[in-house]
């Protein structure tokens, strides 16, 4: 990258007959006549050679108005060398030095052996999701290879905490917060992440927002440093010798958007301990089915601890995704609160299409969910999960029940349909109470519409049963 020429480096003297603006115009003219600085004739940057303002990657005049930090795109990457960078990590580091911004990766195949390191305020964007391909080699078990945004590697959790409802003051027992916690970190309380406004002492924190859940007394907690405002979009991410784990962990306002998976090996996209984050419009489709195929957004197998990838998230969404050829669970949500699964298609082989564990206020709406493998598992299962909504979902082909509730209470099922389930369309176990089923369509479910072993569950008169 050429050295910038600043205004004061033009070398003007008081009696110089050439004005400052004439000198600047001269520099602009020389730059615009340099065809080597403008890419190829079919690129948008080519047309800039006749323009007065500079706005591209190889800049030769630098001032506050033409500073790359103020540009919509702060770095281009081209594997063929036609842009400022051919190395993705170098472009990320440069943009990070400017305080963050947008990096555009031109179409091509980028072969990586190490994971890129992302920072706050970074958008990593492919020119085209189908033709901008990030290809990893040397894949292994989790955490493995992939594009990752990781906020904290060693959260602090010593001692216990208490907090009353409608308070911002957290009291610790056995805590050493002055040396281990900072303002701007996040603390997890009742499966929700709260930003810390100030660290008052070793045993007292002040939150940025009021704690609105049930009062907590002497409970475990976790404090982590979060990265913020990270977007990864419009890319194909794949492995050449094993599955890929793309992950955001300890992130607030993180986004995976329009990510394509590889066809030869699994491509996972994961959120762990995130808030206000989303996975949307991802297409992870594998050509084959069966024991060798692992292509899905959320995976549960021996390569990942506990088999959970949507883990400890709040106020986040999964929407408009297509996931097929999964040989295990399609979507697993664990210890989450206020999470939405919207308008996605998941076809899993062998296990549940959606499994929700130890969570509350989960909304599953307008999805098509298929489980077509031989295992005796439902298509959708809620286990110890409460105050959730399932609405407008189409649930098909389970070898067991369509929707199963285990120790789950106060949930609402509105306008769903089950078809061709191997058991009941809906089943409540003996510890699932006070749930509501309304407007349900049960078509050809083998054992019938519903098995209700709980207490206080309500079945609306508007349910439709077709034997």
Write out pLDDT tens, residues 146-169: 999 999 999 999 999 999 999 999
pLDDT of residue 328: 64
Q: Which of 123-127, 214-218, 354-358 has the lowest mean pLDDT?
A: 354-358
What pLDDT is stored for residue 375 in this prediction? 62
Q: Is the pLDDT of residue 370 over 60?
A: yes
Q: Are 147 and 134 in contact (CB under 8 A)?
A: yes
pLDDT over threshold 60, residue 116: yes
Tell me the C-alpha to C-alpha distance, in Å, between residue 380 and each of 206, 250, 365.
40, 27, 13
Identify any residues that bridge with 347 across adjacent strands, giving them in sequence order: 370
- Of 45 and 193, the structure prediction assigns the larger pLDDT to 193
Closest to 345 in 3D by CA, of 373, 314, 311, 379 = 379
- Kindly state the average pLDDT of the residues 31-36: 58
Q: Mean per-residue pLDDT for 388-408?
A: 94
Q: Please report which confidence band the pLDDT of residue 409 belongs to, taking 50, 70 and 90 as the band edges.
A: very high
Alpha-carbon 352 to chain mean position: 21
pLDDT more than 90, % of the chain: 61
pLDDT beyond 60 at 451: yes
Comparing 89-103, 161-175, 296-310, the range with the smallest average pLDDT is: 296-310
Task: Look at 430 and 344; give whichever has higher pLDDT.
Answer: 430
- Estimate to the nearest angstrom the gap between the alpha carbon of 9 and the chain centroid: 45
Rounded to whole angstroms, the Cα distance separating 352 from 331 reads 8
**What is the model's pLDDT at position 296?**
41
Tens digit of each residue's pLDDT (9 = 90 or more) over 237-249: 999 988 888 999 9
Q: Does residue 279 contact residue 286 with C-beta atoms inside 8 Å?
A: no
Query: What secondary structure, in 3-state letters, does 279-295 show?
Result: EECCEECCCCCCCCCEC
Compare 346 and 49 and report the one with higher pLDDT.
Answer: 346
**pLDDT at residue 7 greater than cutoff 50:** no
* Token pair recorded at residue 293: 């195929």
The stretch 399-427 carries a mean pLDDT of 95
pTM above 0.75, yes or no: yes
In whole angstroms, give the CA distance from residue 442 to residue 55.
Answer: 59
Paired tokens of 287: 């050509």
Give the model's confidence band at 68: pLDDT under 50 very low, under 70 low, under 90 confident, else very high: low
Predicted local distance difference test score (pLDDT) of residue 6: 40
* Average pLDDT of span 349-378: 85
What pLDDT was estimated at residue 245? 86
Dist. CA 377–CA 375, nearest whole Å? 6
Q: Give whole-number Cα distances, 159 to 153, 207, 217, 219, 452, in Å.
A: 19, 18, 12, 9, 42
CB 422 within 8 A of CB 400: yes
């Amino acid at each position: 990258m050429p050295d910038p020429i600043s205004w004061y480096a033009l070398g003007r003297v008081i009696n110089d007959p050439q004005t400052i603006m004439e000198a600047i115009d001269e520099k602009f003219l020389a730059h615009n006549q340099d065809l080597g600085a403008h890419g190829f004739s079919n690129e948008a940057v080519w047309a800039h050679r006749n323009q007065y303002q500079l706005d591209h990657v190889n800049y030769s005049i630098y001032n506050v108005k033409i500073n790359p930090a103020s540009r919509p795109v702060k770095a281009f990457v081209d594997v063929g060398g036609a842009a400022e960078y051919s190395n993705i990590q170098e472009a990320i580091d440069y943009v990070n030095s400017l305080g963050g911004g947008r990096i555009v990766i031109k179409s091509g195949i980028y072969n990586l052996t190490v994971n890129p390191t992302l920072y706050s305020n970074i958008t990593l964007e492919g020119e085209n999701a189908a033709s901008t391909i990030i290809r990893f080699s040397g894949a292994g078990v989790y955490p493995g290879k992939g594009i990752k945004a990781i906020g904290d590697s060693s959260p602090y959790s010593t001692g216990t905490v208490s907090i009353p409802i409608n308070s911002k003051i957290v009291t610790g027992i056995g805590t050493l917060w002055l040396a281990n916690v900072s303002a701007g970190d996040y603390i997890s309380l009742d499966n929700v992440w709260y930003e810390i406004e100030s660290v008052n002492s070793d045993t007292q924190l002040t939150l940025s927002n009021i704690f609105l859940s049930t009062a907590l007394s002497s409970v475990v907690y976790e404090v982590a440093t979060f990265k913020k405002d990270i977007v990864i979009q419009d890319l194909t991410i794949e492995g050449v010798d094993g599955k890929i784990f793309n992950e955001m962990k300890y992130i607030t306002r993180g986004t995976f958007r329009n990510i394509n998976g590889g066809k030869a090996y699994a491509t996972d996209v994961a959120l762990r301990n995130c808030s206000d984050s989303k996975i949307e419009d991802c297409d992870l489709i594998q050509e084959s089915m069966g024991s060798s195929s692992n292509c899905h957004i959320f995976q549960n197998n021996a390569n990942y601890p506990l088999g959970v990838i949507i883990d400890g998230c709040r106020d986040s969404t999964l929407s408009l995704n297509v996931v097929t050829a999964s040989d295990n669970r399609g979507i697993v949500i664990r210890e989450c609160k206020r999470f939405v699964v919207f308008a996605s298609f998941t076809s899993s082989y062998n296990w549940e299409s959606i499994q929700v564990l130890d969570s509350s206020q989960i909304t599953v709406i307008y999805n098509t969910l298929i489980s077509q493998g031989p295992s005796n598992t439902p298509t959708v299962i809620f286990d110890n999960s409460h105050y959730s909504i399932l609405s407008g979902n189409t649930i098909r082909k389970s070898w067991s029940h369509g929707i199963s509730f285990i120790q789950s209470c106060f949930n609402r099922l509105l306008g769903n349909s089950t078809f061709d389930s191997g058991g009941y369309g809906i089943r409540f176990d003996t510890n699932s109470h006070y749930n509501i089923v309304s407007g349900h369509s049960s078509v050809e479910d083998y054992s019938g519409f519903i098995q209700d072993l709980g207490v206080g569950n309500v079945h609306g008169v508007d349910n439709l049963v077709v034997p």
